[in-house]
Structures are given as C-alpha cells and as structure tokens.
Structure 1
Amino acid sequence: MYSLILHGRRLVQSQKCLSLSVSVQNAFVLSNSFSSARAADVSIRDGRKGKNFTVSYLVDSLGLSKKLAESISRKVSFEDKVNPDSVLSLFRSYGFTDSQISTIITDYPLLLVADAKKALGRKLQILQSRGASSSEITEIVSTVPRILGKKSITVYYDAVKDIIVADTSSSYELPQGSQGNKIRNVSALRELGMPSRLLLPLLVSKSQPVCGKENFDASLKKVVEMGFDPTTTKFVLALRMLYQMSEKTIEEKVVVFRSLGFTVDDVWEIFKKTPSVLKVSKKKILKSAETFLDLGYSRAEFLMMVKRYPPCIEYSVESVKKKNEFLVKKMKWPRNALVLHPQVFGYSMEKRIIPRCNILEALLSKGLLRKGSELPAVSSVLSCTDEGFLDRYVMKHNELVPTLMAIFTKGSVS
C-alpha cells in the first residue's frame, strides 16, 4: 500500500485544485424582467464590479495571489466587506491563524458569504459543547473546511478526528471491522492527495468502497495505475465502479462495446473519461447505437461521438430524436457538426438550445451574422456560458439589445 501511495503522489498535479462547486447567482443571470439595454448593461457592470471587489478583498485581507483570488471570484463574489469581515473575525476569535484562515477560504470560499453568527458561529459552538479544544477545532476545520457546510457536523467531526488521530499517533490502534477499514482506507486516499471535498462523504458512508479491505486495495491499485487524478471526482467514481463490479461483469460490458466496433483500448479510454459508463446496461448501450444509426449517423460517427463524449450513450431515445430534429432539420446544422460536439444532445431544449437558436434566427433574418446566412459553429453557440453567448451575439448590436433580449427570454420557438 505504501509503494502505491508513493506512486500515486507522483500522479497528482502540483497545483492545488480549487473545486468548490458553489451555486452563486451571477449578476449577469438573465430574467424575464429585462426589457432594455440599460438594464442589461447595469447587470454586466454590477457583475464585474462584484468580481473586481472580491479579488481586491482576497488579496488585501488574506494575502492571496491575484491569480488565486481571480479563480475564487469565479466561484463566489460580493460587493462589500461587511459579511466577509464578520467571517474572518469569527475565525480569529476561535484562535485560527491567518495562514489557517487563508487555507480554509481557498478550499471553501462559500464561507465568506455565510452568516457568521447564525451559521458558522453556531456550528463552532456545537463542537465546543462536545468538548473539543480550541486546538482540535482549528486543526480539524483547517484540515477539512467543508465540515462547516454540513448539517450533521458532529458526525463528520468525530470521523475526521479519528482519521487525524490515526495519522498523528504512532500508538493508535485501528478499531476492528468496517470502521477500522474506513480509517485505514481514507488515510490512504488522503496520502494520495485526495481533497476534503471528496473525502467527507466517504468518512460517514456506511457503503462501499471505503469499508472494504482486500477488494479496496485491488481496486485502488487499478485506478492509480490507470492514471486517474486523486483530486478529481473521476477518481472516486472509478474506484467505486471497479470496487462494486466483478471481473465477470466488467468483461461482459467490454464484450457489448466490442460488438459495436469499439476496441478494448477504446473501452478503457471511455472509462477514463466517464467511469460511470460501465454501469450502463447492455440494453441501453445497444439502444443508443440503434437510435443514432436510425437518425442517419454512420457507425463510425456513433463510435466517434461516444469516444468524444461518453455520457451521450446514456441519453434517452426521445431526447436524442427531439434535439436532432430541431438542430439538424429546423436549424440546418449538418450532422457532422453534432458528431464533433455530441454534448449538445445533453443540453436543455427550453433553457439553452431554443433561446439561443431564436437569437440566431433573428440575426440571420437581418443579415447580421458575420458569415451572412451561414450558421456559426455549434460550439460557439451552444457550448459557451450565457454571458459568453450574449457578449458574442447580443450586446454587440447596441440598438437591438432590447429586442434581442426579449427574444432570448421568451423561451419559445418562433
């Protein structure tokens, strides 16, 4: 196991991952209330103002580099320092050092917009009431900042404490059974560089794979040898898939893919991109191939789509047919454009495809697209963010912004 850990460490990227998935409403998010170019411009300026302020605050208050601050500002932003200052003051009152606070915020920036007293203060008080010392609180929260985002904080705290004690005490004896296996296995994952955001769910899990032993070692060895990055969710998914599936079941799935024209190497490359592909049933895999072939795609094109974007094999027949009908027959994009960007079959018709295509039709009708009547690339229309799309196709037409925004927010096919 130790040689495996050392091998895995060499596979970890040197730059720390900022991977908090924070759902923060950007000021550029659009609603049906937009009715003028002025409103749209104000929203853009406010969004950028918030990001600029956030970057400056993180650099000045926490000493972060501008590059790191800019990365965090894409996850969370604010326009004044009242709440962030309250959060930092709370941490300092509990004995956290500036270095620890910087580590916490870098890993879990959402804390800067949390309620310092009602949310964070209450949880820290709960830990104190359980007898946790100041040094224990600062060490554990610094090690696993996301513990403050959990409702069952005491359960997570106890689990994290066990792991830390096992790591730091040479005389610590692992408990018997699944709990001992869990501590052993999670410690191994931490040594590989797995971040707390991925470890937390495993710490309190009663399910596979972290409660096993021999099978865990074998599965972990395979995942590391395949080159999965321990700082990503793909690593966890791959570990779970290999742990849960027998060699016989895996081989049966490989046979199904080979019957469609994939090579064994193709199958494992697909697995590396999307580990969950192994759980897709034989029936669904074959049905997906049949659907695309019936729509006029060649077998080679189907293989290319799956290799480029494996999740497309899981899309429902109805969804694929509906989007193909709209994009190919109504919008007149050639099929090979979708072959190169199969992820479009997973986009929402109502929230993304139709609103954006309505804008294109409006521009085409006025001869305002750069290539005249030719449609732009699928990726430039459908694969970008709302902000990127509107910057590219709406905001540059100053006098038409109100009209185009009305079309965009209408959300129906013209």
Structure 2
Amino acid sequence: MKSHSMFKALLSLNLNSLPSPTPKCNPFLHHYSFTFPLKFYTTTSDPKSFTVSYLINNFGFSPESALKASNCVRFKTQKKPDSVLTFFRNHGFSDPDIYSVIKKEPWLLSCDIHKRVLPKFEFLSSKGASRSDIVRAVMVNPRFLKSSLENCIIPAYELVNGFLQSEKKTFASIVGCPSLLYSDSVAFNINYLVDNGVASLNIYRILRLRPFILCASDLKNTVEELKCLGFDPSKSYFADAMLAKRATSELQWRDKVENFKKWGWSDETILEAFKRQPMCMLTSSQKVDKVMRFWINKLGWDSSHLVKAPGIFGYSLEKRIIPRASVINYLLSKGLRKESASFLTPFCMTDESFLEKYVTCFDDEEASQLLKLYQENMDLQDCK
C-alpha cells in the first residue's frame, strides 16, 4: 500500500492534467445487425410532440413520463435517437438493456453518442474491461455516462485504483458501484478517512466489500460515532465496524440490541462483543436466537461466554456448532476435558484442527467413539 501522503496527493490531483487513455485496439468499431427493426415515424413540426410519441412507442413510456422526459430531451426526427439505439446494439446491449438505460437516462437519445459515451467505453476497455463488463456497469447505474471523462471518471478511477492496486479489482468495485465514478462524496470521504488515521488497508476492504459506503454524504457521522464508542481508526477492525454500522438502519440496530438483551446481555457486553467482532451485529435476530437457545437451553452454558467470541454467531449451527458441542460435552462427561477449559476455542478452529485436538488424539477406541458421535450429529443435520 502506498503511504497516506501519496493518497493525499492523489486526492488533490489537477484533474485537467490527466491524459486521455489511448487503448491499443478499439473493440467497439465492430458492427452487429439489429435484433428487430426500429419503428419509424414521419417528421412533425412539433419536436416535443414527436419526442413524446417516440418515447411512448419505442420504449413504453407512459404519456406522463414521456412528457416529463421531453422537457430535457427533444428531437425533430428519428435520425438522432435511432443512431443512439444502433450504437448501443453495436456495443453488446440487448434491446431490454437499451430500454432500461433509456428509461433511466433519456437524455442519451439526443446526445452526440460518439463524443459523450464512446470515449468512456474506450477508457474502460483500455483498463481491461470486457464488452459484457461495460454492459453490466451501465446497467447497474447509467448515470455515470453523464460525467466528464477527463474531469471526473479518470481521476475517480485512478483514486480507487490507488488503493486497490489492481485494474481487475478496481473495475469489479466500479461494476458493483458505478457511483464511484461520479459521486462528489467519494474523494471527500476518502480524504476524511485518511485525515482521521484510517489505515489504507481499511479503505481497501471497504472498496472491495461495500464501495457504496464511500458515496454516502453522512459517512463522517459514522466515523465520529465509532470513535466515540472507542474504536481506533488505525486498527484493522475499524473497516468492519464501519461496514456493520452502515449496513443497518437505526431501527434495525436498536432491534438487534434489544434481541441480545433478552438473552441476558447488557449494553456494555453488547459493545464489547461489537468491538471484538463488529460483523456480529449483522447476524439476523433469528440466527442469534437459534444459537443462544442451543447454547443455553441444550448445552446449559452461560451466554456470557459468547461475548468473548461473537464470531460464533456467524458459524453454521448445523455443520459446526452442534457436531462440535456433542464432542465437547462427551469429553466433559468422561472427565477427558477440564471444566475450566475454554468453551470457545473448539468452535473457532478449522475442521482439521478440531478433529486433531479433540478426536483423533485419544486412543483408538475413544477416538472411534468420538468420531462416530461427531459424524452422527453432522449426518443428522443433513437429513433435516
């Protein structure tokens, strides 16, 4: 990862100094036949009326939405919009794709498509994006096609790539969140995170897992809230804490807190669990209830143990927790495991390590019994 100073420099780039891309080859010059003929209309002396008619008949706009769209897009003949349809078809868009894009961004029908859109496709192609990649990005959010290539898209792309250090990963983030290419909040938020000591690795994780978080206008509030809760922005868990907080509404958060409380956790223990494993707050209340019910009612263990390893809520109850608990309970009943031993360690290791430490390490007869018990509980869940 580059140093914070380099990223700060990236954020303050002179946008006009960035060169336009010059791809080695242009795959967008190939042409394809139409999948079905366009609908043609005679010209009319009223451009607005013609536009409304064109949008209704070609794209299924309602009269109201067509009239509204005609305020920002207008043409006297079908030549311009037909050329736009041809362009998108020639670039791998199906007719349903085109209709979806035009309904979101009708201005495309009256723009100079080869000046406004083609250079953006060429830029993305020069970065390794395939034709289908570009179609996916546009389908997710075509709004980025409005943005200036030189002043917005290229600087934004380079900023994201500066953290991800991979064209492939950068484009994956952009396909998942095209808003990265035009949102005014992205550069501000990254700048703010860097100023507050958020590690580059944390920004990397956010860009890979939930890039849309960086487009939020109120991200600063989340950072300040987490700092007040005692989270250190320089630590690796800070990204997970941000992801968890941004993924839940205030109402959902309160509901999750109340759900933990009904199992005996206090505000303090919930905060402790959140600090240890922030993603535990993304576990559904139903899953928490199932784990707690088994842990307390079936095993007779204290729920406070789970505060130390809240990541257990994310494990499969059927495939991990129940089979392993059956082995641990057997060992306790036979005096083969100390009562004071950790209740948590057996659940937090790989399958191989668990079998090695708690099953196959005993003599053949005992090991055979333990393995049978483990597999029976695993098979029992498979049959449900």
TM-score scaled by length of structure 2: 0.54
Partner of 1:376: 341
Q: Check 1:242–1:206 CA distance in 2 against 1; reply closer, same or farther (3 A cut).
A: closer
Task: Work out whether 1:190 is the aligned partner of 2:158.
Answer: no
The one-letter code of the counterpart of 1:273 is D
Give the counterpart of 1:274 among 216, 223, 241. 241
TM-superposed CA distance for 1:130, in Å, is 6.0
Question: Which residue of 182, 193, 200 corresponds with 1:212?
Answer: 182
2:296 aligned with 1:325, yes or no?
no
Q: Check whether the contact 1:394–1:405 (CA below 8 A) recurs between aligned residues.
A: yes
Task: Give the structure 1 partner of residue 306 of structure 2.
Answer: 338
Cα deviation, residue 197, structure 1 = 5.3
Structural mapping, 1:45-60, within 5 Å: none
Q: Deviations over 1:345-376 (max 9, x none)?
A: 2211001100101111222233222x1xx163
Counterparts in 2 of 1:118-267, with a 5 A limit? 159=124, 161-162=126-127, 177=147, 179-180=149-150, 181-192=152-163, 194-196=165-167, 198-204=169-175, 207-209=178-180, 211-212=181-182, 214-225=184-195, 226-230=197-201, 233-236=204-207, 240-247=211-218, 251=221, 263=228, 265-266=230-231
User: Is the 2:189–2:214 contact (alpha carbons within 8 Å) kept by the matching residues of 1?
Assistant: yes
Matches within 5 A, 1:25-174: 159=124, 161-162=126-127
What is the letter of the counterpart of residue 160 of structure 2?
L
Higher relative contact order (CA 8 A, sep 6+): 1
Q: 1:287-326 alignment to 2 at 5 Å? A: 287-326=255-294
CA distance in 2, matches of 1:242, 1:206: 10
- TM-score relative to the length of structure 1: 0.51
Runs of 5+ consecutive residues of structure 2 not aligned to the other structure: 10-23, 29-119, 130-144
Partner of 2:356: 391
CA contact (8 A) 1:234 1:275 kept: no
Give the drift of 1:179: 4.9
CA gap 1:157/1:274 in 2 versus in 1, 3 angstroms: farther
Distance 1:284 1:239, change over 3 A: closer
> In structure 2, do the counterparts of structure 1 residues 182 and 376 end up closer, same or farther at CA, with 3 Å as the change threshold?
farther
Shift of 1:382: 0.6
State the aligned residue count.
253
Distance between the aligned counterparts of 1:395 and 1:182, measured in 2? 58
Cα shift readout 1:268-308 (whole Å, capped 9, x = no counterpart): 78753332222301111111111111111122111111122
C-alpha deviation, 1:394, in angstroms: 0.9
Deviation at 1:387, TM superposition (A): 0.9
What displacement does 1:323 show?
A: 0.9
Residue 215 of structure 2 aligns with an amino acid whose one-letter code is: Q
| 3-state SS in 2 of match to 1:274 | helix
